[in-house]
Amino acid sequence: MALKQDFPISRGELISQYRDVRRRSEKICLPLAVDDYQVQSIPEVSPPKWHLAHVSWFFETFLLRPFAPDYRLFHPNYDYVFNSYYETVGAFHPRAQRGVLSRPTVEQIYAYRQYVDECMERLIESVDEKCMHQISFRTVLGLNHEQQHQELLLMDIKHNFAMNPLRPTYQAREGIESTEYQLTCLDWIEKRGGIYEVGHGAEGFAYDNETPRHRVLLEDFRLATRLVTNAEFVEFIEAGGYQQARYWLADGWTTVRQQRWQAPLYWERRDGEWWQMTLSGLSLLEEQEPVCHVSYYEADAFARWRGQRLPTEAELEIGVREQPLCGNFVETGRLHPRPAEDGQWFGDLWEWTQTPYAPYPGFRPLADSLGEYNGKFMCNQFVLRGGSCVTPHSHMRPTYRNFFYPHDRWQFSGIRLAEDG
């Protein structure tokens, strides 16, 4: 079911969407053993059971407590355990220590989800009509928030499994579409410079960081019609790309040396061949697939090595705005990028841009505690566009702004090249 972004929305349809998204989170966790719910391989990753509880805490905190007068907390200390970063809500458990919490148990967390779900449905059914618009907006915001955590769940499960020397398998490779592709040559689309409008300006839901719609001045530019492939990135490695400082930003070169990077995350060399960890276990590297799990630093260095550059987020938005919003999203079930094809504009991998994550001109965050959702992170990160193979299709818009720190690699991120026109 696609999330309805338009308002007003009927109570019945809102409940239907709520159930659909909540079931999807639990479906993602079905292949896990109870022991898997506890693991936190690095500070950036959260245990799967924490994700399941945190998204429930969001509904409890921003809908049930302020709008359901008779609501009783499921547990008085869950505010501390499952608050992520909302300073205006109260203190919270350190992010890097989420994996040390053996309690609440997985069973208790599922009971918490059921309790919140029952209360949310009663709220939607009974709330006064004058509050319904606010309830609808906050519920749809909470559902989009949960969809973000569905992607994070798959990212984090992959990292947790990749750090295990047994290389566990999340899903079997059998039954996953496998098609022979003829790799297309790197082609380009050209766009004329001028003054364009970018940002969300249509009806329906969008995050506050996608607004307001505003004008930008662009020079002529060209965008690659497909993503950079594994084979092309291997050429960069074999040319000594990780050993030559001239291709790297200073912070990137420092990171390469400190972390001893020699290849993208999840790649390993075995008997002269490259292998990569996937959610279907360890597999031989497919040369035609887009290179995945690269940092901003690696994407930028590769582009410099090629004599090209990364696109700006405005260039990407202008370049894809007339393209259909279709591609390899989580609904395909692959949970891995497909071989690179000409005209591959959405899905498969988030695409790094050279644009720092900053507010648009005239940006105003949401009121009260919800204003912490995006605005407080507008520093030291870069924007990614386009969605990935673990992104829900209904979660995407051409104006969607994802953001990560330049050293981050565990997200499903890739490279699209650009050139000046």
- The CATH number of residue 104's host domain is 1.20.120
In the prediction, which pLDDT does 2 show? 43
- pLDDT tens per residue, range 312-366: 999 999 999 889 999 999 999 999 999 988 888 999 999 999 999 999 999 999 9
Residues 210 and 301 in one domain: yes
Residues 208 and 151 in one domain: no
* CA separation for the pair 336, 287 (Å, rounded): 14
Confidence of residue 290 (pLDDT cuts 50, 70, 90): very high
Decide: 314 and 216 in contact? Cβ < 8 Å. Answer: yes
In the prediction, which pLDDT does 229 show? 97
Contacts of 137 (CB under 8 A, 6+ apart): 7, 205
* CA separation for the pair 335, 313 (Å, rounded): 25
Average confidence (pLDDT) over 158-165: 98
Domains held by the chain: number: 2
Query: Which range among 38-42, 59-63, 202-206, 286-290 shows the weakest confidence by mean pLDDT?
Result: 202-206
In the prediction, which pLDDT does 323 show? 93
Q: Domain for residue 235, yes or no? A: yes
Distance from CA of residue 173 to its chain's centroid? 23
Residues 271 and 407 in one domain: yes
- Asked if the model's pLDDT at residue 300 lies above 70, the reply is yes
Residues 67 and 209 in one domain: no
In the prediction, which pLDDT does 174 show? 62
Q: CATH number of the domain at 407, please.
A: 3.90.1580.10
Q: Domain for residue 65, yes or no? A: yes
Confidence of residue 202 (pLDDT cuts 50, 70, 90): confident
Confidence of residue 4 (pLDDT cuts 50, 70, 90): very low
Q: Domain for residue 22, yes or no? A: yes
Decide: 412 and 350 in contact? Cβ < 8 Å. Answer: yes
Residues 45 and 149 in one domain: yes
In the prediction, which pLDDT does 379 show? 96
Q: Domain for residue 261, yes or no? A: yes
Tell me whether strands 273-278 and 267-270 are parallel, antiparallel or unpaired.
Answer: antiparallel
Give the pTM: 0.95
Decide: 169 and 283 in contact? Cβ < 8 Å. Answer: no
Q: Domain for residue 179, yes or no? A: no
Average confidence (pLDDT) over 406-419: 98
Q: At what angle do helices 132-162 and 48-59 cross, to 10 degrees?
A: 170
**Eight-class DSSP state of 76:** T
- Asked if the model's pLDDT at residue 7 lies above 80, the reply is no
Average confidence (pLDDT) over 256-274: 97
Structure-token match 């084979």, residue found: 231
Six token digits for residue 158: 């992959």
DSSP reduced 3-state for 214: strand
Listing DSSP states for 401-416 in one string gives: -EEE-TT--SS-EE--
Query: Which range among 186-195, 202-211, 251-260 shows the weakest confidence by mean pLDDT?
Result: 202-211
Residues 265 and 154 in one domain: no
* CA separation for the pair 80, 330 (Å, rounded): 32
Q: Domain for residue 172, yes or no? A: no
Decide: 266 and 409 in contact? Cβ < 8 Å. Answer: no
Q: Could you tell me the residue range of the domain that residue 59 belongs to?
A: 11-162
Residues 85 and 208 in one domain: no
Average confidence (pLDDT) over 192-209: 93
Confidence of residue 421 (pLDDT cuts 50, 70, 90): confident
Residues 208 and 344 in one domain: yes
- Asked if the model's pLDDT at residue 1 lies above 80, the reply is no
In the prediction, which pLDDT does 175 show? 46
In the prediction, which pLDDT does 25 show? 98
Six token digits for residue 362: 């005239």
Share of the chain above pLDDT 70, in %: 95
- Asked if the model's pLDDT at residue 177 lies above 60, the reply is no
Residues 206 and 342 in one domain: yes
Residues 89 and 134 in one domain: yes
* CA separation for the pair 215, 385 (Å, rounded): 19
Six token digits for residue 348: 């498969």
